[in-house]
């Protein structure tokens, strides 16, 4: 029961309590980092809220996408993936609300940031960059495909963030990179992925996603091709 969960002034204990709750609820990865380390990824609109300045920790939660659903993707998204994508986002938003309730019940502040919401179409930005938060918290690193790459699941995850002033233990960023893996380069239908993550061509990616949205009649602007290609060591093999 959410109402019975007790937090304290001990960040390590709070992290363990929330991690256990989230894992029991179906969250695959639970991490946290300092807000100061990721504030540069915040959209200016987030600063208009006076509570943002009070937040000291950013909680990152990831859900492992269905490997079976992703295996149905070849050179374009499928209706199956589109539905899965939308339902996972809803699940993550629900998890963020539950964590927010726990934190607020214990007298601290919490601000859930939607898993998938664009507030600036020209730059394709949300209130913050979930993958930047996840990388700073130690959930993974930014790969050649411009996505978070986790050791367990590759890029086969969706993310959500909760900002809070509750004391929490912070993770450390991972130092590993893509190494000798170039699977996403060959898979990209827009040829937006390059050898160096810094050379990723976002405009090409966005243009291809827009084409898929018009042709496939999917509700969200999605692709999923490079997500499938980046398996990680936890993906199920055929």
What is the per-residue pLDDT for 218? 63
Q: Is the pTM for the entire model greater than 0.85?
A: yes
Q: Per residue in 24-62, pLDDT tens?
A: 999 999 999 999 999 999 999 999 999 999 999 999 999
For residue 193, is it within any domain? Answer: yes
Domain that holds residue 92: 2-229
Q: Note the pLDDT of residue 234.
A: 53
61 within some domain: yes
Decide: 142 and 135 in contact? Cβ < 8 Å: yes
> How distant is the alpha carbon of residue 192 from its chain centre?
20
pLDDT at 229: 97
Strand segments, DSSP code E, in 35-168 are 57-64, 110-113, 141-142, 148-149, 157-164
pLDDT(92) > 80: yes
In a domain, 102, yes or no: yes
pLDDT for the residue numbered 181: 94
What are 205-235's pLDDT values in tens digits? 989 998 898 876 665 789 999 999 999 765 4
pLDDT of residue 121: 74
Look at residue 167 and tell me if it is in a domain. Answer: yes
Helices (H), the chain: 11-25, 67-70, 79-105, 130-137, 183-187, 202-216, 225-229
Q: Are 129 and 20 in contact (CB under 8 A)?
A: no
pLDDT in tens, 146-166: 999 999 999 999 999 999 999
CB 46 within 8 A of CB 137: no
On whether residue 238 sits in a domain, the answer given is no
Q: Specify the number of domains making up the chain.
A: 1
Asked whether residue 236 is assigned to any structural domain, the reply reads no
With respect to residue 67, please indicate whether it lies within any of the assigned structural domains.
Answer: yes
Euclidean distance between CA atoms 158 and 66, whole angstroms = 11
Q: Once rounded to an integer, what is the mean pLDDT over residues 115-141?
A: 92
How far apart CA 71 and CA 84 sit, in angstroms, is 13
In the structure encoding, which two tokens stand for residue 183, read together? 């699977």
Query: Which of 78, 82, 30 minimizes the C-alpha distance to 57?
Result: 30
pLDDT tens-place string over residues 179-213: 999 999 999 999 999 999 899 999 999 899 988 98
How many CB atoms neighbour CB 125 within 10 A? 17
- Asked whether residue 25 is domain-assigned, the answer is yes
């Amino acid at each position: 029961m959410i109402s019975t969960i007790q937090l304290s002034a001990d960040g390590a204990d709070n992290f363990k309590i929330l991690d256990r709750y989230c894992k029991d609820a179906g969250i695959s990865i639970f991490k946290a980092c300092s807000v100061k380390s990721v504030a540069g990824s915040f959209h200016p609109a987030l600063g208009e809220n006076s509570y943002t300045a009070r937040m000291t920790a950013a909680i990152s939660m990831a859900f492992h996408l269905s490997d079976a659903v992703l295996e149905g993707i070849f050179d374009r998204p499928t209706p199956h993936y589109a539905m899965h994508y939308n339902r996972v986002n809803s699940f993550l938003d629900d998890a963020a609300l539950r964590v927010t309730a726990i934190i607020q019940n214990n007298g601290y502040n919490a601000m859930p940031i939607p898993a998938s919401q664009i507030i600036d179409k020209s730059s394709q930005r949300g209130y913050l960059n979930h993958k930047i938060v996840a990388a700073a918290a130690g959930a993974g690193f930014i790969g050649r495909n411009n996505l978070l790459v986790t050791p367990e699941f590759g890029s086969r995850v969706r993310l959500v963030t909760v900002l809070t002033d509750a004391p929490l233990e912070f993770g450390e960023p991972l130092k590993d990179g893509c190494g000798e893996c170039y699977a996403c380069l060959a898979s990209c239908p827009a040829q937006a992925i390059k050898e160096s993550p810094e050379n990723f061509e976002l405009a090409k990616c966005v243009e291809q996603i827009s084409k898929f949205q018009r042709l496939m009649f999917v509700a969200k602007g999605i692709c999923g091709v490079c997500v499938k290609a980046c398996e990680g060591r936890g993906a199920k093999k055929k």
